């Protein structure tokens, strides 16, 4: 039976995402402006994964999955590399299909995997994280299109460092406080469920927007 303390612990792990919910600026840390300086690029790179609640939920869920595998330090690197590639694709004018749907969908998927208590193998995890990274990066890239090379590089650096810091920090806290943070940890699974719920809320909204354009 899932005890109240486990539910509370799981909710606390992802509840911080609610404080980032400002949809109008979720994908534009500089209010929609293109970064023009090195510092603009750094700030935009730092802000993007923290202001986008669906991105944040995915990173937390990914960290929990990596902890359950015992690969917290290395597994997220596949996501970071692919998200950098995704940014560069968008920057270069390449458009991936249904980007926002895929962002929310991957957050839902990884959250559900953690909730299930299933431990991913390293090859499967790397494939899933890299696949997700392409779409998350493509979404991030919209904030840097048109920028010069200096703010672009600063953006990529700030983005990578921030995403890794979120993942490593969330995973470290999970390992310290939650039943050893193995795949069967109830608190870990509840937190995965919360992340999946956040992802699904965005997924439902975006799919509804595709079906009923102009309504949502």
Q: How many residues does the chain have?
A: 216
Angle at 141 between CA 63 and CA 149, to 5 degrees: 115
pLDDT in tens, the chain (216 residues): 444 444 444 444 444 433 333 333 344 556 667 888 999 999 999 988 888 899 999 999 999 999 999 999 999 999 999 999 999 999 999 999 999 999 999 999 999 999 999 999 999 999 999 999 999 999 999 989 999 999 999 999 999 999 999 999 999 999 888 766 677 788 899 999 999 999 999 999 999 888 888 655
Strand (E) or helix (H) holding 207: helix 186-211
Q: What is the pLDDT of residue 31?
A: 64
Which of 19, 126, 7 shows the shortest CA–CA distance to 66?
126
At which residue do the structure tokens 């839902």 appear?
A: 108
Give backbone dihedrals phi and psi of 169, rounded to 5 degrees, phi first. -65, -45
Q: Could you give the 3-state DSSP secondary structure of residue 101? A: helix
Encoding tokens for residue 78? Answer: 């596949």
Q: What is the pLDDT of residue 116?
A: 94
| Distance in angstroms (rounded) separating the CA atoms of residues 104 and 112 | 12
Q: Could you give the 3-state DSSP secondary structure of residue 128? A: helix
Q: What is the pLDDT of residue 213?
A: 81
């Amino acid at each position: 039976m899932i005890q109240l303390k486990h539910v509370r612990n799981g909710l606390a792990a992802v509840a911080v995402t609610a404080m980032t919910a400002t949809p109008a600026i979720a994908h534009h840390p500089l209010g929609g402006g293109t970064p023009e300086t090195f510092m603009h690029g750094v700030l935009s790179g730092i802000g993007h994964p923290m202001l986008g609640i669906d991105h944040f939920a995915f990173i937390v869920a990914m960290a929990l999955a990596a902890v359950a595998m015992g690969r917290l330090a290395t597994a997220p690197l596949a996501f970071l590399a692919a998200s950098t590639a995704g940014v560069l694709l968008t920057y270069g004018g390449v458009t991936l299909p249904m980007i926002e749907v895929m962002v929310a969908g991957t957050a839902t998927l990884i959250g559900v995997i953690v909730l299930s208590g299933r431990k991913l193998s390293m090859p499967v995890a790397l494939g899933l994280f890299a696949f997700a990274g392409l779409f998350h990066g493509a979404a991030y890239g919209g904030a840097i299109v048109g920028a010069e090379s200096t703010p672009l590089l600063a953006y990529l650096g700030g983005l990578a460092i921030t995403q890794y810091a979120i993942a490593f920090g969330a995973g470290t806290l999970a390992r310290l406080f939650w039943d050893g943070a193995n795949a069967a940890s109830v608190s870990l699974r509840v937190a995965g469920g919360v992340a999946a719920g956040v992802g699904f809320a965005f997924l439902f909204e975006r799919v509804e927007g595709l079906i009923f354009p102009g309504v949502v």
